[in-house]
Structure 1
Amino acid sequence: MTRTAPRRLGLLGGITWHSSLEFERMLNEGVNAALGGSSAADLLVRSYNFQQIADAQAAGDWDGLGSTFAADARQLQAAGAEAILICANTMHKVAPAVADAIDVPLIHMLDATADAIVAAGLDTVALLGTGYTMRDPFYRDHMAARGITTIVPDEPVLAEVHDLIYDSLARGVVPDGAREWIRGVYDNLRARGAQGVISGCTEIPMVLTAADVDEPYFDSMGLHVEAALEFALRD
């Protein structure tokens, strides 16, 4: 049964403001579609200065980022959030610190994505995201625990995908030819055995969408929103 008013959600970032807007838009549209009238999502949003986040990531200060996100999650909970979302794939590297800091559920983006891959009956998928997401074991280990193998580009292409995200997409810029190029990157991963693709960065849909691929496309942001809406609206 659907509630008459949504539960309050606490959002940690976007982490860029471009994807923050998309998260909020989809959550608001989802609540309105379910409840009608002038209904909208009940959100508490901690929007970050992405330059500070990117600098800390580049410096390898994941402990510091984890402490910051954990403290912010506690503040959102104190303000009435009934669940927390980390609105970025890469920052799920600090999800354990956030989960340990709060007493409400952490709606996990990687769980929502893995659920969809398992439901589709696939076990090997391409992963496109930041260099941290593609190189670091936190993402592939989370998927492996669900029986899912992730395939990422080889260097130097992996680094070029990362640079596309940080130097252009995170600033709202889609370079000429970027869509065709990223499709070629995916085609190579498909040739290596990928049965589908994870849009493993909230900026990837700016250059690659489900309409661009013939295989299943797992939009981590959209799947995360669906999981959040299910929580916010269930009785």
Structure 2
Amino acid sequence: MSDALKHFGILAHSAEGAALCFTTFCHEGGKRLGPDIHPDVTVDCIAFGHCMDAWDKGDFAFVRNVHAQSVTRLAKAGADFFACADNTSHIALEHEGPAFDIPGLNIGDVVAAEARRLGMKKVGVLGTRFTMEGPVYKRALAAQGIERAIPDARDGAEIDRVVFEELVRGKFLDASKSFYAGVIEKLAAEGCDGVAMVCTEIPILLDGVKTALPALDSTRLLAKAALDVARGAAPMPQWRGGPVGEDYS
């Protein structure tokens, strides 16, 4: 491997999201660097279940500390930078705390930058209840001059239920596909010109499903951004966790 290539570390929280980030990174590497070639990549995963009580209690410091353990292990494995494919995790990653051992890409900023590149003005956000109602995409989209929209409370509750009872357990049901597609139709009717699929499993659920809005696939966008960094086509990130910019709240 060329010394010019950087070692990428994936901070895994949910298995499906980390797996999609890993395979996308490797496959895109083959397209850009040659058949079966990609920069070194290491995955570290502390079981998702250890954090569920903390998520329910809003104990973001606890989750951040768990993620910090993963970042430290990635650094010790030789990773030059990291990224986490789980959007909800970024609420904890952006929480106040000691700087991480290596810098990381912020998935919210990656998605928002792509929305701006595509000329989107109002983006619907689909994810866990924590992500839809939380500060990460409110901040990231606003920083790019983009309006954020979320589903109503009833639809939001069902989106969240499907994520935690089905998607993170590898269940991708036809009824849930139809429901999510229907929510996207409602967002289109409300004036959205794009939808951010900011739970890593949603693009897997809707793979091959025609939706009413162009979609921002957060996991694949993150993996491609990481590949650009690893092969030197984009600068190394500087963020080491904690609040991003003055608009974070």
8 A Cα contact 1:77 1:102, kept in partner: no
Unaligned runs of 5+ in 2: 234-249
Q: Which residue of 2 aligns with 1:22?
A: 20
8 A Cα contact 1:126 1:151, kept in partner: yes
Query: Which letter maps to 1:85?
Result: A
Distance 1:139 1:150, change over 3 A: same
Distance 1:222 1:88, change over 3 A: same
Identity of aligned residues (%): 29
Q: Which runs of 4+ in 1 moved over 4 A?
A: 97-100
TM-score by length of 1: 0.90
8 A Cα contact 1:151 1:194, kept in partner: yes
8 A Cα contact 1:153 1:185, kept in partner: yes
Answering whether residue 129 of structure 2 is matched by residue 136 of structure 1, we say no
Separation in 2, partners of 1:150, 1:62: 23
Separation in 1, partners of 2:38, 2:140: 32
Separation in 2, partners of 1:106, 1:99: 15
TM-score by length of 2: 0.85
The CA RMSD over aligned residues, in Å, is 2.1
Cα distance, 1:131 vs structure 2: 0.4
Q: Which residue of 1 aligns with 2:144?
A: 146
Q: How many residue pairs end up in the alignment? A: 232
8 A Cα contact 2:9 2:74, kept in partner: yes
User: Structure 2 residue aligned with 1:189, among 182, 187, 190?
Assistant: 187
SS at match of 1:150: strand
Q: Which residue of 2 aligns with 1:10?
A: 9
Q: Deviations over 1:110-136 (max 9, x none)?
A: 111111111111120111000000111
8 A Cα contact 1:4 1:35, kept in partner: no
8 A Cα contact 1:16 1:48, kept in partner: no
Separation in 1, partners of 2:38, 2:17: 18
SS at match of 1:81: coil
Unaligned runs of 5+ in 1: none
Q: Deviations over 1:55-92 (max 9, x none)?
A: 32112221111122123213322331111101211101
8 A Cα contact 2:124 2:149, kept in partner: yes
Cα distance, 1:181 vs structure 2: 1.1
8 A Cα contact 2:10 2:22, kept in partner: no
Question: When you count helix as a share of all residues, which structure comes out higher?
Answer: 1
Q: Deviations over 1:32-71 (max 9, x none)?
A: 2222244234112111312223232112221111122123
Query: Which letter maps to 2:156?
Result: L
Q: Which residue of 2 aligns with 1:171?
A: 169
